[in-house]
Amino acid sequence: MSIYLFELPTTGAVSFIDFCSDPQGLYTVEIAEATQARANLRTALKESKRTDVKDYLRLVKVIDDYTPHLCGVINCVNAGELVLRSEPIFSWRTTLSAKLFNNSPRLSIPHLPTDLVFTLLTSGFALTNLARAIIVSLGDYETQRSILENERKEKDERLNFAVSLLGRAAGIFGWAGEVGLGEWEREMKEKGGSGKFERPVELSREVCAALVKMSLADAQSLAIRKLLTKAAFDSTITPGPPLPKSHPSPALIAKLHLECASLYSSARALAKTPSSSHHKSKLSFSKGKERDSDDFGSGEVSPVLRHYLSSEAAFHSILAHKWLGVDAGERSQTGESVGFLSWAKQELADLKDTNGKNLSVNASDREKEMREWRKARLARETECVAAFLKGYQKMNDSVVFQEVPGQADLQARIPAGRLAVARKEWTKPVPAFGPGSVEDARRKAEALEVGDQNGAGSEKLTPDAVSPRSVGAYAGSGSYF
C-alpha cells in the first residue's frame, strides 16, 4: 500500500454546441456525441467522489472514450471546420494544490487544450489509484505459508499488471507536461488570454515531471517486490543469513532501491520548485508579451504528497543500505556488512521518530491509515535488518574479525542506481471525427480511387494524408488493458 492515493478532481458541465459553430453542418451528431462523452466523464467523477467503493477501471475507460471526441473537436477547430462562437471555459476542481480546510479549489480556465490536459492528468491519477487498489487486494501474499504455487504466480501477474498501470500513468503525465502544456500556453499567447485566473500547480511542467518520476519510482518499488516474492516465501521461517537459493542478487536489489530513492527525491525537489509551489500572481497574457514559467505559479503542492515523496525517498535509501550490507556479508566482507546494516538500523530508528511527529492534529483518515501502514512497514524492516545484522556480526566477531568501516567510507562504496521499469509513452488517439479520423482517411482514400479511375486531375494525396495509424483503427484502440 505504499502507492499514493490521489483525490480525484471533479469538473463542471460542458456543452460543445454552446460555443462550437458548425457552418457546413458536417458534425451535428459528432458534437452531440462529444458532449455526451464529456457528460459521462463528469458523472463518473461525481460518482467516484460520493461512493466508498471506487471503480477506477471504469473511470479510465470513460476517459479513454472521451479523449478521441475531444481531440476531434480540437482538430476541427484548428482546421476551421468548426468555429468557436466564444472561448470555452472549463471548470475543474484541483487535486494536487495545497488545501485550506481540506477544500480543493475549483478553477475556471479557458481554451480547449485545458480540458485535454486536465482529462489526461485525471486518467493518470485514476491509473495510479487502480494500481494501488490492486496492491491492497493482494495483501502480504508472499509471506503466507499456506499459499499454493499457482496462487502465488497468479498474484505475481496481478502485481506485474499494477507495474504496467504505473508505467502507463508515467507516460500520460509526461505527455501532459512535455506536450500538452506547451499547446495550452501557445494558445494562451496567440489569443491574448481570457481575463485573469490562477494557474494551478497541475498546469506546471515541474509538477508533471515530478508525477512522472513518482510513477516510475512506485512502479520500480513494485517490480522489486515482484522480484523478491519467491525468496520472501522461502525466507519466512528462517529470516536472515544465509540467503535462500531463490534469492536474486542483493547487489541488484540495492541498486534498484537506490534508483527508487533518487526518483522520489527528484520528484519532491521538482514539486517544490518556485514555479510549481510558490504563489506568484494571477495569470493574464497580453499579446506580444512573453512570460517566464515562474510567473505562472499559483498555490503549493499538497504537503501530504510532499511528505509521501520525502518518506519514500528516505525509506528506499535505507533499504539500499540494508541490501548493500547483505551483499557484503554474502561475499564474506562481514566488516562492511556490519557497517551498512548498522547504518540502516539507525536510519530506521530515525525515520520512525520522524514519521511519528509529522502527522497533524487535523489529519484525514487517509493520512492516519498511511501512518499506521508506515509504522508496520518500519517494524518489519527493523526486525529484518536486526536478523541480518545479528548473523553477520556474529560471523565477524567469531570468525573473520574484519574492521567495520565508518559511514564516510561506506558512502564512497555506494554504487549508482539502476532503473528497471520504463514509462509507456502516450500519444493522441485517433480522433473520433474530423481531420485525422478513420472516416476522414476513408473519404480521402475513396477520392483518390475515384480520381485514379477517372484519370482526372483529382486532388493528390501526400504519403502522410492517410495515416497508417488511422486506417483500420478505432477510437479507443490500444487504450485498454
- List the domains of the chain with CATH numbers: 16-412 (1.25.40.280)
Amino acid at 285: F
Q: Phi and psi at residue 333, in whole multiples of 5°?
A: -95, 70
Longest dimension (CA), the chain: 95
d(CA 98, CA 101): 10
Q: How confident is the model over 206-228, as pLDDT tens digits?
A: 999 999 999 999 999 999 999 99
pLDDT of residue 286: 36
Contact in structure between 355 and 378 (CB atoms under 8 Å): yes
Q: Return the higher-pLDDT residue of 195 and 375.
A: 375
pTM for this model (two decimals): 0.88
User: What cell was used for 426?
Assistant: 502516450
> How many C-beta atoms surround the C-beta of residue 278 within 10 A?
14
Q: Residue 407 above 60 pLDDT? A: yes
> For 331-431, where are the alpha helices, taking DSSP H only?
334-357, 365-395, 407-412
DSSP 3-state of 366: helix
CA distance linking residue 328 with residue 330, whole number of Å = 5
Task: Give the separation between CA 336 and CA 71, rounded to whole angstroms.
Answer: 57
pLDDT (average), residues 378-402: 95
Report DSSP letters for 311-343, one per residue.
HHHHHHHHHHHHHHHHHHHHTT-HHHHHHHHHH
Q: How far apart are CA 202 and CA 205, in angstroms?
A: 8
Which percentage of the chain shows pLDDT scores above 90?
Answer: 67
Span 169-209, pLDDT tens digits:
999 999 999 999 999 999 888 876 555 667 889 999 999 99
Cell, residue 223: 517490480
Q: Pick from 381, 401, 380: which is nearest to 338 by CA?
A: 401
